[in-house]
Chain A
Amino acid sequence: MRPPTPLLLLALAAAGPGLAVAQSPGALTRAPAVVEPAAPVYPPAARAAGRSAEVVLELELSAEGRVAAARVLQPAGDGFDEAALEAGRRLRFSPAEVDGSPSAVVIEYRFRFEAPAAPPPAPRAILRGQVLERGTREPIPGALVAACGKTGISGGDGRFALLDLPPGPCAVSLSDPGHERFVTEELLEAGKAVEARYYLLRALDDPYQAVVVGERERKEVTTVTVTSGELSRVAGVSGDTVKVVQNLPGVARAPGGLGLLVVRGGNPGDTRVYVDGVEVPTIFHFGGLTSIVPAEAVEAVDFEAGNFGVRHGRATGGMVELRTRDPQRKLHLVADANLFHAMAFAEGPVGEGATLSVGLRRSYADAVVREAARSSKDFGVAVAPRYYDYQARLAWRPGPDDALRLSVTGSDDRMELTGMELGGNLRQGALRLGNAFVQGAASWEHRFSDATRARLAVAQAYFDVSRQMGSVGSERDQLHITNLRAETSHDLSASLGLAVGVDARFLPRAHLRVEFPLIPPPNQLPSPDAPRVRAELRLRGTEAGAWAEARWSPAASLQVVAGLRGDRYTILGAARWLDPRLGVRWSPREGTTLKGGAGLYHQPVQAAAYRTEQWGNPRLGPEGARHFMLGLEQRVAGPVSLDLQLYRKQLFDLALPVEGPERYANLGTGQVTGAELLLRWAPGGRFGGWLSYSYSRSVRHQQVVGGTLVPTGDAFDQPHNLTALGTVELPEVWQGLSAGFRLRYTSGNPYRRVLGALLDADGGSYQPVPELAAGARTPPFFQLDLRVDKRWTWKTWILSAYLEVQNATNRKNPELAAYSYDYSRQGWASGLPLFPAFGIRAEY
């Protein structure tokens, strides 16, 4: 046998084994060819590491083509050599031929190891969605979202996205400082995105806390602001916004729960009520049951007991401003029902930058009254007392510097009782009360620059008022009233700002048909048979004012507000005046503010009948008051603040009934002196509320019996008036539970004792003969009201219910002196006994 012929190996660059044949003497007439290939086993470690290699072997082939021997010529290491040798030895070739005869040869053989391509990575998952507040569906920005080791923060719209998450079950947790932590689990699928909405429960469970948006009015010296969050759960007022004001310092308690605003000893008509800068002549249904603007539409209530600035005028008492809120940008639906009325409310976006809200409220106590009246022999019910009110508001922000608002507000009260004997005579008649008004308003706010702003508001209202008081008299008033308010402010520097404005009320058309007897002259026994004066009045005129105000801060801690206001009116008389006013605030240190104010205030005589030719004195001039105040605001600790005020009011030129043809003259004078304390715990935490104490003495220097239509402020002189109220959250007891209380103590009202009585032989009833000056006082008033609220919060809606117990101690609080038929015995007409009320509300 010939020895293998070393053959030269030819390097082959192809993948796979390579073959080279060593050439020896003799001619290679046939090269060996692989007839049985053998794939080498890829070394596992090298495969896992993704390493490639090439191993060159020298193979001795027998004449039969078997591999007789193999050795590595070009090693690669990492196990490749061994794998190549093992595979090489398994190779079978066709015999090589040298000179035509099978011959042993030596060849080079190349094994190429190519690392397998990395397997495609296993697909990952995505979790994205939105974080919202439970119940209100408000987006929660800045919430921390953690899932499967990855974290993210929700954006301004509450949206978040977590990428590259491992598929499979994944624990997700969401947390935010103002909300309770939420944990859940999601099943993530490879290559897919899971969309989720998560609803977090507000930690302190106060979804009603107001968020003030937009520009806030500059703070007046004595403004107290109550937000809607505070308003909604005050015990004893069933959520009424204006009645909450009656719990603030400076406001006397009105008898029978009526909505009278007797502020710092003034007459009930001396305090104006505005809704968004427009005065409303009647703020309550039926003179005091509930206010015409539901709490749902109110952002906050500003109350100034006195010393208010020049922006408002033609009032000598205080000022209440209801600030309604713009509709929300998300759909919001509310249905609410309580003991007195039901309400429906909806708001939401209506296009780019615009939002709309509509609300309707209607009483249903008329059904109850109708049934109760069936058994009464004293009167019949032609129209049971019922009221409704409605509001619609459109807010549009065409740009960052403009805000436009349109609104429609309306209210309707109606009641008619028949068979009433009123006025001290036996003639029966109806007691009818009808109050209807509708008002459309438009306002525009523009920011010219950071230093300059302007506001314009116009409102057109129509009033239809009808009254009948038995056989005594009747009245029908139809009035068109246009209100205008325009103001602009400019900051001349960081320390000096100026503002000017006008506000006016035009009466382009008013038709009054009145039939009432002459108002009995003072100090005389009234005549029950007095004939009626019939008058048809067509009034036109204006009440207008212009003002200018400067705000000067000579130092960072000192602010001086000086203003001058001029007013003129031409409705039922004519007069003009100038009112200067000054207010100062000084903060000597952080958290402490001293304040003071002085000002002159005038108003037309509020009882319009006194200014008529038929019943009064058309030459009656305006009434006036000088206000003086010193006060202290002190932040006590955390949410607790204190406001202390000392004040004095000098009243002059008050309309006084006089004997003789003049009937009324500006001869009345009086003064009010007092001190007020407000200790307030700001809402937003577990507890919110306040303690209010007023000391007040209201005196009128002239004592007159009779001749007036409404009581004067001294009739409500309550030296001591204490109110404490609060609401506490109780999530530990029951999630969404809160409890509230209101405790009131006030001095009794002064009243004139009856010295005797005489029988009206023609009417069959007795008439009292009162003392000249009020020499007695009703017993003090004390009442505790309790309230419990429970809120159930689901993802997208909230159900709330409240139970309120007014006069929880069932105390018989004397309200008015009550007498036997001949005034020989006196008792007390007391207020309502323990009185439960409830309400339920659903909100989306």
Chain B
Amino acid sequence: MFRIPLALAVLALAACSPDFDPASRVEKLRLLAVRADPPEIEPPSATAAAPDRAALTALVLRGDLSARPATVLYVACLPGPDSSPTPCTTLATLRDPAALAVEATRAACPGAAVAPVVFAGAEVCSAGACGPARATLDGTVVDFPPPALALPPGYGFGGLPRGSPERALGTFAPVLAFAVDAAPDELAGAAPGGCPAARLGAGLARLWGEREHVLAEKRVHVRGPEAPDAPNRNPAVAGIAASGAALGEAPPSPLGAGRWALRPLLPPDAGALHDLETTLDASGAPVGRAPEEWVYSWFSTAGEIDVLHTREPEPDEWRLAAGDVAGGGRALVAVVVRDLRGGTAWVTREVALRP
């Protein structure tokens, strides 16, 4: 019934594909992950186990490790409780995603009509860390709302009949993260007129095609009233070890040419964070229950990472050639851990390249 004829062709042709740069190598503006905290939200009710709001943040890196800021603007779509399609996942709108940002930021202006897309805040990120987005507009310093997804009042699953799969499965609210190589001042200043959010959105649309940019989608799980498990928690990672030695935060650990076995360093309570996950089928019926699996994704701004994703307990390998370290300087290595249920965490470490 379900044929996979071309899967074999794809497999067969994989050996004859061009040799592109690996995804683990960071050379330009990259948005590597988006985290929602908590990863699951729930409409308010007497029995709600999760809050109705999640803070959002992103991991943005540059290959040149410069401190030049990048702005990340968030747009969220709220599906109906029946998981109906939203503009955030419709291909027709994604062919011109900047227009979606314009629509969402305009709708955030006071008095504007309600739109199916919501402006969910903005932040500024550089060197692996993010902070509030602030711009000076017409002499006034404006703080843009911190990134967050909040369920609107009245949102819930009450209208669904008993037995609806969504009551157990919940639904997913897609959040689009627009990362662009520009500071908020530059974005908001590029499009005069309108409320600050609208100016921010318009400026992003104007510079979107001119500057390095990355678009990401984060699916935030909205729990149903009959969800079988406790609310999911984000995983945690405390550091990175290279060939057994933890890489320091400050000052950066020195590393020379060679092969370095990379492992994530987990906090003491990491084991407790491996929540039990109940797998549900499309009708909401449970089909299995097992501890969640954490997958680690590795990135670096120098050298070559062996594989993009690893699973415990296998390490990854970071190969620094003589040419990578010849000029000295710094490099950055990052690991993103995902629990494959929407939970995300990361850590970055700078290293001093030693010839």
Interface residues of chain A, those whose CB is within 8 Å of chain B, are 255-256, 258, 260, 268, 286-288, 377, 421-422, 425-428, 431, 433, 467, 469, 473, 475, 477, 512, 514-518, 521, 523-525, 527, 529-534, 607-609, 612, 659, 705-706, 709-711, 755-762, 764-765, 767, 769-772, 812, 815-816, 818-822, 825, 827-833
Contact = CB atoms under 8 A, between A and B. Distances in A.
B176 A758 contact: yes
A288 B5 contact: yes
A475 to B, nearest CB: 6
B272 interface: no
B21 A534 contact: no
B164 to A, nearest CB: 13
Contacts of A256: 9, 12-13
Nearest to B25: A821
Contact of B218 (A532, A607, A757, A762): A762
Dominant SS at the B interface?
mixed
9 contacts: A258-B5, A258-B9, A426-B338, A523-B90, A532-B281, A608-B1, A609-B2, A709-B3, A764-B308
A761 B2 contact: no
Given A705-B91, A756-B95, A761-B33, A286 B8 contact: yes
Contacts of A477: 1
Interface string B266-287: 0000000000000111110101
A116 to B, nearest CB: 94
B280 A821 contact: no
Interface centre among A421, A467, A709, A764, by most chain B C-beta atoms within 10 angstroms, is A764
B262 to A, nearest CB: 15
Contacts of B92: 523, 772
Given A377-B307, A523-B90, A758-B215, 14 more contacts: A255-B13, A469-B4, A515-B281, A517-B282, A524-B85, A525-B90, A527-B172, A529-B172, A612-B1, A710-B3, A756-B94, A762-B340, A829-B13, A830-B16
Contact of A706 (B7, B91, B281): B91
Nearest to A268: B5
Interface centre among A426, A659, A756, by most chain B C-beta atoms within 10 angstroms, is A426
B9 A769 contact: no
B7 to A, nearest CB: 7
A762 B219 contact: yes
B91 A467 contact: no
A608 B18 CA distance: 36
B12 to A, nearest CB: 6
Contacts of B113: none
B188 to A, nearest CB: 24
Contacts of A473: 2
Given A515-B281, A818-B17, A821-B23, A759 B90 contact: no
A473 B18 CA distance: 29
Contacts of A258: 5-6, 8-9
Contacts of A767: 217
Given A524-B89, A525-B91, A710-B3, A426 B340 contact: yes
Nearest to B294: A426
Contacts of B306: 377
Nearest to B309: A426
B34 interface: yes
Interface of B: 1-10, 12-14, 16-18, 20-23, 31-34, 85, 89-92, 94-95, 97, 165, 169, 172, 176-177, 214-219, 279-283, 285, 287, 293, 295, 297, 306-309, 311, 336, 338, 340, 342, 344
Nearest to A606: B3
The 5 A-B residue pairs with the shortest CB-CB distance in the complex, in nearest-first order: A827-B18, A821-B23, A761-B34, A820-B20, A759-B216
Contacts of A512: 1
Nearest to B82: A661
B282 A531 contact: yes
Given A515-B281, A523-B90, A527-B172, A831 B13 contact: yes
Given A524-B85, A531-B281, A531-B282, A761 B5 contact: no
Contact of B17 (A287, A612, A711, A827): A827
B2 A516 contact: yes
B91 A524 contact: yes
Nearest to A256: B9
Contacts of A705: 91
Contacts of A286: 8
A235 B155 CA distance: 66
Contact of B342 (A287, A515, A762, A829): A762
Given A523-B91, A705-B91, A759-B31, A816 B1 contact: no
A821 B22 contact: yes
B218 A431 contact: no
A524 B3 contact: no
B9 A762 contact: no
A178 B353 CA distance: 82
B172 A531 contact: no
B15 to A, nearest CB: 9
Given A515-B281, A816-B13, A821-B22, A761 B90 contact: no
A761 B216 contact: yes
A762 B338 contact: yes
Contacts of B1: 475, 477, 512, 514, 608-609, 612
Contacts of B217: 525, 758-761, 767
Contacts of A517: 282
A427 B293 contact: yes
Contacts of A433: 4
B261 to A, nearest CB: 15
A36 to B, nearest CB: 116
Interface centre among B22, B32, B283, B340, by most chain A C-beta atoms within 10 angstroms, is B340
A729 B195 CA distance: 83
Interface centre among A422, A428, A523, by most chain B C-beta atoms within 10 angstroms, is A523
B285 to A, nearest CB: 8
Contacts of A467: 2, 4
A287 B8 CA distance: 8
A686 B89 CA distance: 63
B93 to A, nearest CB: 10
B2 A711 contact: no
Contact of A533 (B12, B34, B281, B344): B281
A487 B221 CA distance: 61
B281 A709 contact: no
B16 A829 contact: yes
Nearest to A519: B2
Contacts of A530: 282
A761 B344 contact: yes
Contact of B18 (A431, A759, A761, A828): A828
A273 to B, nearest CB: 15
A758 B94 contact: yes
B178 to A, nearest CB: 10
A612 B20 CA distance: 41
Nearest to B212: A824
A285 B282 CA distance: 32
Nearest to A815: B13
Contacts of A760: 216-217
Contacts of B12: 256
Interface centre among B10, B279, B282, by most chain A C-beta atoms within 10 angstroms, is B282
A79 to B, nearest CB: 104
A533 B282 contact: yes
Contacts of A761: 33-34, 177, 216-219, 344
Contacts of A757: 215
Contacts of A770: 91
Nearest to B18: A827
A830 B215 CA distance: 29
Contacts of B85: 521, 524, 659
B21 A820 contact: yes
Contacts of A831: 13, 16
A463 to B, nearest CB: 12
A756 B293 CA distance: 31
B293 A527 contact: no
Contacts of B17: 818, 827, 829
B75 to A, nearest CB: 12
